[in-house]
Amino acid sequence: MKNFYKKKILIDLDGVLNVYGKDKYDENYIPEIKEGAIEFLEKLSIHAELYLFTSRNIMLSTKWLIKNKIDKYFKDVTNIKIPSYLYIDDRTICFKGNFETTYEEVVKFQPYWK
């Protein structure tokens, strides 16, 4: 029997899985799930081991996953960037080997929802 290994992917909560940026930030409230997120997680979880990455309270985030019936797609919730194959975040710049290009991207950066 072949050993099947799924790659770890960390997915950020705010701005990726939820509707974020239209309301003022509230540490005790997580906005509603973004349209298409469930289907995305369902497909991705077939090929990868998913971890929710968030700077929010872990218990609050876990309850949000359960409320939205998407907890089954995640192996764990963490606020530490564990070694992973890939990170999915709305506030990330991918380094493509060129420092000058990366610097320009940093200077001009804005999240997609601004």
- pLDDT confidence bin for 4, thresholds 50/70/90: low
Give the pLDDT score at 112: 85
Predicted TM-score (pTM) of the model is 0.87
Identify the CATH class of 7-86: alpha beta
Give the pLDDT score at 30: 95
- Contact assessment for residue 13 and residue 56, using Cβ atoms and an 8 Å cutoff: yes
- What are the extents of the domains in the chain? 7-86
In 1-114, which ranges are E strands? 7-12, 48-53, 74-78, 86-88
Percentage, residues of the chain above pLDDT 70: 96
Q: Rounded to whole angstroms, how far apart are CA atoms 83 and 8?
A: 8
- pLDDT confidence bin for 5, thresholds 50/70/90: confident
User: 3-state DSSP call for residue 20?
Assistant: coil
| Strand-pair category, 74-78 with 86-88 | unpaired
Give the pLDDT score at 21: 73
